[in-house]
Every structure is written in structure tokens, then in C-alpha cells.
């Protein structure tokens, strides 16, 4: 771990170029998918219905392919360990975000290259990557392939139920996005976490102990 102690902070390189690229690429796709999805449902007027459908379908398939590559990358690089759920120090993290963050307490699980995500983040990101996003992609793909259901042997569902699940998934992703954006502002400065996702370097307060957390998640 590279460390550079300055002004009570140490710089730690946490996010690789691919991680940063995937983060912003996925963020852009989600935003455009949300906007075009809202236009398809008549909540917005921006591109026009047919163009919104075309863009939405194209980006949906692009997201599906890129997500498959991300899963491949996670397992071939060993980064899957960053998403293994744990309840260790979970209550401490919850107390930190509900109380401690407003009273200047140090984070109970400071970031390290071996543990980039705290217990709460692990649960949230795992639920997003293993449940919500696959459900959203599956319902979107089923909706897109509706005319081929009979040939594919798809039974026991209706187009309206698939559409309803897809819309609910979209609002769930939007809710996650709002919370995620808020959480990025909880660093030692308002833009610290966002800056790290551009540069790869995170500023960790030197007063936060990492040895116990590293030992617990090793």
C-alpha cells in the first residue's frame, strides 16, 4: 500500500483504470437508460418515442454485454473477494452513518486495497450486482424478445407482468443511485470520494486504524 502522509491524510491507490472506467461507463448507461425509459412511458419528452426506444434497446444490450465482461473481470482478478458479505462491524458502520459521521468520529472500516468496501457497502453492492441488475437485464431482454416467446418456449408470464417488474427495477436502481450520490459526499471533503473515482487515489485520514478491519476481512 502506497502511503503519503500529508495534512493528516495518507494517499492510497484503490481503484484501477478499469474499475474507474467501468464505474463511469455504467453510470452513464444507467442515466441514459433511466431517461429513455421514462420517455418510453410518457413521463418525458426529449428524443421522441421511437428514438428513445432505439437508444434504450441498444444501451440495454450494450450494458448486458459489458456487465458479463465485468463479471469475468471480477472473478479472474480475484476482486470478487471485495463483495463477499460480512456482518463483522456492520452495526458499527450503521452507527457511524447515523450518528458518528455527524460527531466527527473516525470511520470504523477505513478503505484499503484489500477491503475497498465496508460491510454495508458489500451488502448493498452484492444485492445490486447479484440480484437487482440481473433482474433488470432479464426483464428488459424478455420484453425486447416478446415476439419470440413462443419459439423460445417462454411460458407462465405475461408482457404486462414483465413490464411491471422492469419498471419497478428501474425505480429501485434510481433509488440506489440517489443514495449512492449522497454517500459520495460523506468523505473528509465533499468531493473526496468522487475525486478518487477519477484519479484512483483515495485520501484516508491517518487517525483511522486499518489493522483490525484488514484482519477481520482477511
Query: Which pLDDT does position 215 carry in this prediction?
Result: 54
Contact call for residues 159 and 121 (beta carbons, < 8 A): no
The residue whose grid cell reads 475497498 is: 116
Contact call for residues 141 and 125 (beta carbons, < 8 A): no
Query: Which pLDDT does position 168 carry in this prediction?
Result: 92
Indicate the burial class of 33 (C-beta count within 10 angstroms; 0-12, 13-18, 19 or more). buried
pTM value?
A: 0.82
The per-residue pLDDT string of the chain (218 residues; one tens digit each, 9 = 90 and over) reads 333 444 577 888 999 999 999 999 999 999 999 999 999 888 888 888 899 999 999 999 999 999 999 999 999 998 989 898 888 889 999 999 988 888 878 888 888 888 889 999 999 999 998 899 999 999 999 998 888 888 888 888 888 899 999 999 999 999 999 999 998 988 878 888 899 999 999 888 765 454 555 554 54
Query: Which pLDDT does position 6 carry in this prediction?
Result: 44
Query: Which pLDDT does position 151 carry in this prediction?
Result: 84
- Give domain limits for the chain: 5-217
Cell numbers that stand for 204 in this block: 484516508
Cell numbers that stand for 140 in this block: 428488459
Give dist(CA 143, CA 159) in Å, integer: 7
Query: Which pLDDT does position 178 carry in this prediction?
Result: 93
According to CATH, the superfamily of the domain at 5-217 is Transmembrane di-heme cytochromes, Chain C (1.20.950.20)
Query: Which pLDDT does position 188 carry in this prediction?
Result: 79
Query: Which pLDDT does position 31 carry in this prediction?
Result: 93
Query: Which pLDDT does position 4 carry in this prediction?
Result: 40
Amino acid at each position: 500500500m502506497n502511503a503519503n502522509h500529508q495534512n493528516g491524510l495518507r494517499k492510497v491507490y484503490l481503484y484501477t483504470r478499469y474499475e474507474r472506467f467501468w464505474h463511469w461507463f455504467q453510470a452513464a448507461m444507467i442515466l441514459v437508460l433511466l431517461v429513455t425509459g421514462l420517455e418510453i412511458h410518457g413521463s418525458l419528452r426529449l428524443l421522441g418515442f421511437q428514438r428513445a426506444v432505439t437508444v434504450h434497446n441498444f444501451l440495454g444490450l450494450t450494458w448486458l454485454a459489458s456487465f458479463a465482461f465485468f463479471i469475468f473481470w471480477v472473478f479472474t482478478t480475484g476482486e470478487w473477494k471485495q463483495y463477499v458479505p460480512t456482518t463483522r462491524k456492520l452495526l458499527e458502520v450503521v452507527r457511524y452513518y447515523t450518528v458518528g459521521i455527524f460527531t466527527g468520529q473516525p470511520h470504523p472500516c477505513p478503505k484499503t486495497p484489500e477491503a475497498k468496501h465496508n460491510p454495508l457497502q458489500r451488502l448493498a453492492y452484492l444485492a445490486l450486482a447479484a440480484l437487482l441488475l440481473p433482474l433488470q437485464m432479464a426483464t428488459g431482454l424478455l420484453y425486447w424478445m416478446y415476439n419470440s416467446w413462443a419459439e423460445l418456449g417462454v411460458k407462465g408470464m405475461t408482457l404486462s407482468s414483465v413490464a411491471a417488474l422492469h419498471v419497478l427495477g428501474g425505480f429501485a436502481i434510481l433509488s440506489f443511485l440517489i443514495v449512492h450520490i449522497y454517500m459520495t459526499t460523506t468523505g473528509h471533503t465533499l468531493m473526496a470520494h468522487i475525486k478518487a473515482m477519477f484519479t484512483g487515489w483515495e485520501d484516508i485520514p491517518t487517525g483511522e486504524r486499518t489493522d483490525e478491519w484488514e484482519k477481520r476481512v482477511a
